Amino acid sequence: MADSKQNMAGISVKNPVTGQEIGVVPKSTRDDVQAAVERAQDAQLAWGAASVEERCRVIRKWGDLIWENQERVMRVIRDETGKNDTGAFIEIIGLDNYIAYYTKHASEFLRPERRQPIFPIIQRGKVYHKPLGVVGVISPWNYPMMLAFLDAVPALLAGNTVVIKPSEITPFSALVTADLAYQAGVPEHVIQIVTGDGETGAALVDYVDMICFTGSTATGRKVAVQAAERLIPFSLELGGKDAMIVLADADLDIAASAAITGSCENAGQMCISIERIYVEEKIYDRFVEKVKTLIHQMTMGAGDGLDIHMGSMTNERELLRVEEHIKDAVEKGAEVIYGGKRRPDLGPLFFEPTILINVDHSMKIMKEETFGPVIPIMKVYNVDEAVRLANDTEYGLSGSVFTRNLALGERIATRLNTGDVSVNRTQAVPASAAMSWGGQKYSGFGGRRGDKEGILRFTATQSILVDTQIGYKPGLTILDPTTLMFLKLMRLARRYVPFL
Ligand code: NAD
């Protein structure tokens, strides 16, 4: 926690399964945020001056400590989200994967790159990737540990310091993980956590050199406006309405299982959740039957172990929206063939995994982000109709296509207007740190996670040209006779010399 004078009003954090208070965190004021950013600016001087290898060494050690303390961290995540062990473990694996990838490749990605200046040989050109300064990270509650740090890791390795504002619903996952960073040797003010709600988040946007936001599209839009006023770089990772397309030749057992895991992982509270499924008419009935058979085998509850397939939802607001979307769909002709109800016997926010059929695009469930364990399945005549409907959305995050014809699957994938698509898997691109991902349309803006671009978005590009002054004669116009001669020579040479 940032060692600032905090507003003692505090925010009570509750366990969604038991309803019990887990603890209280301070609601950081604007002054607290400003002070944290100033400390981060001071700390950045030494952190940014250290070699990339030195930064990688400390971050790698942090990753090892998180891995060694996984049970403790998972307990904190589960207590404040109500998710199952799988959901919590995915957070550990996801961050670990990013730490492994970026600590291995950061020096290569950040190395100055040679570029051709206007007069080769006489001049040398290089592009440098310099830290931006203090990066602010604002994160949501659905993956509260992983998403507080997934962007912070490349930002830190690029030489920035970070101030993180986790969701007020789940701040402890970020706090416990930041403590492990300090134990690993990350200097205290290189990573700081400021707790608070939207006001604290808005204050952070006002002081940092770049803002990296993950959350809803509505809040992302406010952050973008505020960042634009300050002309600071920003990146937005927002909501989604991901589609899955099942072709007639797909392996239906795999597709049915993917429909369930893709829609119900983390009780459907995942930005890249499968939120609608389009199935070719020929296999529609068989597919629906298989999903229904499989879903009966799911275990829901608050217990431990990877054989609990679904945990609780995290907050009432989300649950109310899920119920509203189902009600709207049923009123417009949809049929619930499994689930559709709360399970108060398990806890106040448990909701059954739910299958909906007879759905269409007049319903909220097919157009707006539902963010719950709902599987709406729609019959389509052919691939073209599936692609048209999949693209009929304001969102463009991720998606998937199931077919045994891999080349066709890849071709269909390119027709989807989303940041990534997996063929015969769901959510597989974001799991691969070397493949960048990020939304189009209302799902994201301003940079992608993963790969080289996922670290370079936290840098300022600076091009530097060094002139040897060979043939350089002092003159009173920029087009002195020697320069003019060189320019004409270059124009000619470019026609015949391939590397110019
Ligand atoms: P949210 O927008 O309500 O809150 C996100 C964060 O923004 C929180 O920390 C909140 O305190 C803060 N905030 C609220 N108002 C603010 C303001 N005016 N200025 C600055 N910060 C402010 O989102 P949520 O409910 O926490 O998260 C769920 C949403 O996040 C879903 O839409 C989901 O799809 C999306 N999400 C996207 C990704 C992705 O990578 N694309 C990942 C996870 C979640």
Q: Please indicate whether residue 447, judged by its CB atom, sits closer than 6 Å to ligand 1.
A: no
C-alpha of residue 204 to centroid of ligand 1, in Å? 14
Q: Please indicate whether residue 221, judged by its CB atom, sits closer than 6 Å to ligand 1.
A: no
Pairing assessment for the beta strands 234-237 and 210-214 based on DSSP bridges: parallel
In degrees and rounded to multiples of 5, residue 438 shows phi and psi of 170, 155
Q: Please indicate whether residue 263, judged by its CB atom, sits closer than 6 Å to ligand 1.
A: no
C-alpha of residue 481 to centroid of ligand 1, in Å? 59
In degrees and rounded to multiples of 5, residue 257 shows phi and psi of -65, -40
User: What positions carry a catalytic annotation?
Assistant: 237, 271
Asked if 309 contacts 299 with a C-beta cutoff of 8 angstroms, the reply is yes
Q: Which of 448, 414, 415 is nearest to 434 (CA)?
A: 448
Distance CA 275, CA 264 (A): 10
Mutate to test the pocket of ligand 1, among 271, 369, 448 (most ligand atoms within 8 A of CB): 271
Q: Please indicate whether residue 215, judged by its CB atom, sits closer than 6 Å to ligand 1.
A: yes
Asked if 399 contacts 421 with a C-beta cutoff of 8 angstroms, the reply is yes
C-alpha triplet 379, 382, 337: angle, nearest 5°: 10
The segment(s) of the chain belonging to CATH 3.40.605.10 are: 11-238+449-460
Per-residue pLDDT of the chain (500 residues; tens, 9 = 90+): 444 444 457 999 999 999 999 999 999 999 999 999 999 999 999 999 999 999 999 999 999 999 999 999 999 999 999 999 999 999 999 999 999 999 999 999 999 999 999 999 999 999 999 999 999 999 999 999 999 999 999 999 999 999 999 999 999 999 999 999 999 999 999 999 999 999 999 999 999 999 999 999 999 999 999 999 999 999 999 999 999 999 999 999 999 999 999 999 999 999 999 999 999 999 999 999 999 999 999 999 999 999 999 999 999 999 999 999 999 999 999 999 999 999 999 999 999 999 999 999 999 999 999 999 999 999 999 999 999 999 999 999 999 999 999 999 999 999 999 999 999 999 999 999 999 999 999 999 999 999 999 999 999 999 999 999 998 888 899 898 888 998 999 999 999 998 88
CB proximity list for 316: less than 8 A, separation 6 or greater: 348, 349
Question: What pLDDT was estimated at residue 475?
Answer: 85
Distance CA 369, CA 382 (A): 25
C-alpha of residue 237 to centroid of ligand 1, in Å? 9
Question: What pLDDT was estimated at residue 8?
Answer: 55
Q: Which of 18, 7, 1, 123 is nearest to 349 (CA)?
A: 18
Q: Please indicate whether residue 223, judged by its CB atom, sits closer than 6 Å to ligand 1.
A: yes
What CA dihedral angle connects 187, 190, 195 and 199, to 10 degrees? 160
C-alpha of residue 397 to centroid of ligand 1, in Å? 15
Question: What pLDDT was estimated at residue 473?
Answer: 84
One-letter amino acid of 467? D
Distance CA 148, CA 177 (A): 9
C-alpha of residue 112 to centroid of ligand 1, in Å? 35
Q: At 98, list the tokens.
A: 């990013």
C-alpha of residue 166 to centroid of ligand 1, in Å? 9
Q: At 133, list the tokens.
A: 């300064």
Q: Which fold has domain 242-432?
A: Aldehyde Dehydrogenase; Chain A, domain 2 (3.40.309)
Question: What pLDDT was estimated at residue 480?
Answer: 86
Placement of tokens 């970026």 in the chain:
102
Write the DSSP symbol of residue 364.
G
Question: What pLDDT was estimated at residue 6?
Answer: 44
Q: Where are the beta strands (DSSP E) in 188-229?
A: 191-193, 210-214
Question: 11-238+449-460 falls under which CATH superfamily?
Answer: Aldehyde Dehydrogenase; Chain A, domain 1 (3.40.605.10)
Measured from the Cα of 220, ligand 1's closest atom is 2
Q: Give the rounded distance of the alpha carbon of 280 from its chain centre.
A: 31
Asked if 351 contacts 315 with a C-beta cutoff of 8 angstroms, the reply is no
Q: Please indicate whether residue 251, judged by its CB atom, sits closer than 6 Å to ligand 1.
A: no
Residue nearest to atom 40 of ligand 1 (CA): 237
CB proximity list for 30: less than 8 A, separation 6 or greater: 199, 203, 206
Distance CA 198, CA 213 (A): 12
Question: How does pLDDT run across 141-197, given as a tens digit for each residue?
Answer: 999 999 999 999 999 999 999 999 999 999 999 999 999 999 999 999 999 999 999
Q: At 340, list the tokens.
A: 């559709």
Distance CA 342, CA 297 (A): 18
Question: What pLDDT was estimated at residue 471?
Answer: 84
Residue nearest to atom 26 of ligand 1 (CA): 140
Distance CA 219, CA 207 (A): 18
Residue nearest to atom 43 of ligand 1 (CA): 271
Distance CA 184, CA 265 (A): 31
Asked if 28 contacts 207 with a C-beta cutoff of 8 angstroms, the reply is no
Q: Which of 439, 327, 446 is nearest to 394 (CA)?
A: 439
Q: At 301, list the tokens.
A: 């509850």
Measured from the Cα of 430, ligand 1's closest atom is 40
The segment(s) of the chain belonging to CATH 3.40.309.10 are: 242-432
One-letter amino acid of 442? Y
Question: How does pLDDT run across 326-340, given as a tens digit for each residue?
Answer: 999 999 999 999 999
pTM, to two decimals: 0.96
